[in-house]
Structure 1
Amino acid sequence: MKVSVLDIQGKETGREVELSESVFGIEPNDHVIYLDVKQHLANKRQGTHKAKERAEIVGSTRKIKKQKGTGTARAGSIKSPIFKGGGRVFGPRPRDYHFKLNKKMKRLARRSALSQKMKSEALIIVEDFNFDKPRTKDYLNVLDNLNIRSKKSLLVLDESNKNVYLSSRNLKTAKAVTVSELNTYNILNSNVLLISEGKLEELQNNLNK
């Protein structure tokens, strides 16, 4: 399939690029997408949550009232979970949420996400560009020219385009990543995906391995 290349003014350059059917034209695998997104979010968790249980509470161990004759349930310790300030029953403990997903599944998930963007016409190929210096206003002008300023966008650019990256970093609805940083979650979390013309071949080669 062929797609026109746009410049940063939002106009067609007259050039077209060939998109790989095996990357942008497959039937999306929803379950693999779910697993990849789940792994991405799980691996970002610190897992440092902790609540004190009964044995870890600092407090007196004396029996707080007599066993019988009070008209209420017996109670042996102020550290019991039923009292305010007592320990928590089966509270959270530090744990590692990381889990592995093989490379073939991760590549399939990214291809599925890219195919979804292609089907929903939320994919734009832009010619390679750079700025003389980091300036958020310049990047906003590019988004205005492409009529996507009000949408959440993701730009896949070259590692050398540091000024473009810095110009977009201050925007909540815009994100710029390199091909190696591109993941399924970022693709799905954007309304519009922008791919620089020069990195398209590398992206397709990586996902066709």
Structure 2
Amino acid sequence: MKVAVVDINGKETGRKVELSDAVFAIEPNEHSVYLDVKQYLANQRQGTHKAKERAEITGSTRKIKKQKGTGTARAGSIKSPVFRGGGRIFGPRPRNYGFKLNKNVKRLARKSALTLKANEKAITVIEDFNFDAPKTKDFINVLASLGLENKKSLFVLGDSNNNVYLSSRNLKRSEVVTSSELSTYKIVNANSVVLFESSVEGIESNLSK
């Protein structure tokens, strides 16, 4: 699959890049995409939630009323979950929400996500560029040239580029990653994926193993 390369102003340069069918034109496996996104979101959870159960509540241990003759249910402790201020029944405890996912499944998920974006014509290849200094206004101009100012966009660099990364950091709808940091969630979450020309080789190399 050939895609035209555009410049920083959104105009075609006259060159085209060949995107590998083994990465950008496979039969999408949506279940693998679901699993990879689920794992990514699960790993974002801190899992530090904690509620006190009755053994951890501070309170008197005396029997609060006699066993019989009150006409109400038996009660032996003020820390019982049935009373206000008592312990919580089966409350949340600290835990790790992460789960294992096979590397081949994760690789298939990323290729499926890229294929789906390619099918939607949501992948753009731009020639490599850099800024003289980190400046958000310069990055906004690039977004405007590509028609992405009001869309979620994901820019994929071939190598780390500090000026481009810092220029995008204040923009909520745009994210800049390197080809090695590319994840299924970030691909799916973006309306448009913009690949730096130098990133194509790295993506295909990582996903063709």
TM-score (norm 2): 0.97
- Is the 8 Å Cα contact of residues 158 and 200 (structure 2) preserved in structure 1? no
- Do the aligned partners of 2:42 and 2:97 also contact (CA within 8 Å) in 1? yes
Matches within 5 A, 1:61-76: 61-76=61-76
**Does the C-alpha gap of structure 1 residues 95 and 160 become closer, same or farther in structure 2, counting only changes over 3 Å?**
closer
Tell me the residue number matched to 2:192: 192
Partner of 1:90: 90
What SS does the corresponding residue of 1:164 show, helix, strand or coil?
helix
TM-score, normalization: structure 1? 0.97
What do the CA deviations read for 1:72-100 (whole angstroms, capped 9, x no partner)?
21111100001111001111111112222
Question: Structure 1 stretch 140-149 or stretch 33-42: which is displaced more?
Answer: 33-42
Corresponding residue for 1:115?
115
Cα contact 2:180–2:202 (8 A) shared by 1: no
Provide the identity percentage: 68
- What is the identity, as a one-letter code, of the residue corresponding to 2:90? F
Output the CA distance in 1 between the equivalents of 2:87 and 2:160: 54
Q: Which residue of 2 aligns with 1:155?
A: 155
Equivalence for 2:165: 165
1:137 maps to: 137
Distance in structure 2 (CA, Å) of the matches to 1:67 and 1:160:
72
1: CA distance, partners of 2:201 / 2:178:
13
Counterpart of 2:36 in structure 1 is 36
Cα RMSD after superposing both structures: 0.9
Q: Please, which runs of 5 or more residues in structure 2 have no aligned partner?
A: none
For the residue of structure 2 that corresponds to 1:149, the secondary structure is coil
* Cα distance in 1 for residues equivalent to 2:84 and 2:28: 51
Equivalent residues of 2:160, 2:178 under 8 A apart:
no
Shift of 1:16: 0.3
| Equivalent pair of 2:29/2:109 in contact (CA under 8 Å) | yes
**C-alpha distance in structure 1 between counterparts of 2:89 and 2:163, whole Å:** 52
Which whole-Å deviations, capped at 9, do the CAs of 1:126-182 have from their partners, x for residues lacking one?
Answer: 010000000000000000001111000000013342100000011000000001111
Q: Structure 1: state its 5+ residue gaps.
A: none
Runs of 4+ in 1 over 4 A off after TM superposition: none
Is the partner of 1:37 in helix, strand or coil? helix
- Compare 99-108 and 116-125 and name the one that shifted more: 99-108
Q: How many equivalent residue pairs?
A: 209
